[in-house]
Amino acid sequence: MIDRERLIETFCNLVKIDSPSGEEHDISEYLSNRLKMLGLNVTKDDYGNVIARSEGDNPLMLSAHMDTVEPGRSIAPRVNLDRIESDGTTILGGDCKAGLTAILEALDSLNQDKVKHIPIEVVLTREEETGLIGANNLDFSLIQSKEAVVFDGEGPVSQITSSSPTYIGFDIEITGQSAHAGVEPEKGLSAIKIAAELINKLPQGRLDEETTFNLGLIEGGQVRNAVAETVNLQGEFRSMNLETLDSVNMQLIHTINEVRNAYPKAKLLEKITTDFHTYKIDDGSSTLRRIKSGLLSLGLKPTMQRSGGGTDGNVYRKLGIDAVVVGMADHGMHTKQEYVSIPDLMDAAHLVETLIAH
Ligand SMILES: [Zn+2]
């Protein structure tokens, strides 16, 4: 049986192990040991992602990521009625440790009740938060699953992610000419002024229902009294619509070229990369059918929710795995106000149990 006390204990143990992106060694050791004790064959790929498998063909993948965002060190979880929250100085780490907890509690429960489960592959990734890096480096030659349930959505487990956008990141490095600002400003070419012109010409915010554009970082100049030589800009845009994405991309390149032509003595270097690719889940997805019937059997009503972000599910789907992202009882992700709803987390564990019980 899914056990509330054991579930809370597992969750609190997990969040007490620091695991900011890139520092997943301790959590991956802990999880590997837990999964071994539950009778799974556990390996790590070359990148440090954990893959735990049971015997049998045609497994179902259960996936979550091991890393958390900052401030996420020395997390002190506390139970407050039906919620688990942090002490207010850090995030809680429910993203994605609530997902890990749901998987572990279901396996603990089946193990205790001596109930067999279908073949499964538990895939726990590193560095999801910094751009799905673990999933992108996952050794897929070790993966057999054709279907995957990814625990990385906000809200209750009945909240299924229906679609996710393509995400394009860009860096622009502007180099002008430095000069003493008081003595010989004529000799300078301000990278800050050029950046300002460029920024003014670029879109910003929500462009349409399914498209957003953001400049998130700017740094440049060196001192108050010198003409600024360099500026770096970082931005991103995302859309569900590939035609819109193309046209925003062309607008970005066109704008950079316009500014480049206006300042032939300056150097503008741009780097544009696609971090993850869009998907839409349709009724043909057999993973979706599995999840929906599991939810209904638990008396939970499935809802489909569009997401503006990406998860490891984007990577899996691009590689032909029918991956579906569900909620994991977490609210206010990436904030100090983050909390996990205990009844929702029980539901998530129940869903895992229902999906895999033999
Ligand atoms: Zn996450």
CATH classification at residue 218: 3.30.70.360
Query: Which pLDDT belongs to residue 255?
Result: 98
Q: How far apart are CA 311 and CA 305, in angstroms?
A: 14
233: number of Cβ within 10 Å: 20
Of residues 108, 11, 66, 76, the one with CA closest to residue 353: 108
Let me know whether 66 and 49 are in one domain. yes
Of residues 68, 69, 73, 25, the one with CA closest to residue 49: 25
The secondary structure element, H or E, covering residue 304 is strand 303-306
Query: Which pLDDT belongs to residue 3?
Result: 98
Q: How far is the CA of 14 from the centre of ligand 1 (A)?
A: 15
Q: Mark the residues whose beta carbon lies below 5 A from ion ligand 1.
A: 95-96, 152
Q: How far is the CA of 5 from the centre of ligand 1 (A)?
A: 24
Range 54-68 burial, b when 16+ CB lie within 10 A, else e: beeeebbbbbbbbbb
How would you classify the pairing of strands 303-306 and 159-164?
Answer: parallel
Q: How far is the CA of 333 from the centre of ligand 1 (A)?
A: 8
Q: How far apart are CA 130 and CA 125, in angstroms?
A: 12
Is-contact 323 61, C-beta < 8 A?
Answer: yes
Let me know whether 330 and 259 are in one domain. no
Q: How far is the CA of 115 from the centre of ligand 1 (A)?
A: 30
Let me know whether 286 and 268 are in one domain. no
Query: Which pLDDT belongs to residue 166?
Result: 97
Q: How many domains is the chain built from?
A: 2
Model confidence, pTM: 0.90
Three-class secondary structure of residue 347 per DSSP: helix
Of 276, 309, 328, the last residue of a domain is 276
Is-contact 276 315, C-beta < 8 A?
Answer: yes
DSSP secondary structure of 216-250: EEEEE-S-TTB---EEEEEEEEEES-HHHHHHHHH
Is-contact 62 120, C-beta < 8 A?
Answer: yes
Q: How far is the CA of 344 from the centre of ligand 1 (A)?
A: 17
Let me know whether 177 and 105 are in one domain. no
DSSP secondary structure of 250-272: HHHHHHHHHHHHH-TTSEEEEEE
Q: How far is the CA of 98 from the centre of ligand 1 (A)?
A: 10
Catalytic residue set: 67, 128
Let me know whether 304 and 259 are in one domain. no
Classify burial at 347, counting beta carbons within 10 Å of its beta carbon; exposed 0-12, middle 13-18, buried 19 or more.
Answer: buried
What domain range is 179 assigned to? 166-276
pLDDT tens for the chain, 358 residues long, are 999 999 999 999 999 999 999 999 999 999 999 999 999 999 999 999 999 999 999 999 999 999 999 999 999 999 999 999 999 999 999 999 999 999 999 999 999 999 999 999 999 999 999 999 999 999 999 999 999 999 999 999 999 999 999 999 999 999 999 999 999 999 999 999 999 999 999 999 999 999 999 999 999 999 999 999 999 999 999 999 999 999 999 999 999 999 999 999 999 999 999 999 999 999 999 999 999 999 999 999 999 999 999 999 999 999 999 999 999 999 999 999 999 999 999 999 999 999 999 9
Let me know whether 84 and 124 are in one domain. yes
Query: Which pLDDT belongs to residue 58?
Result: 96
Let me know whether 24 and 153 are in one domain. yes
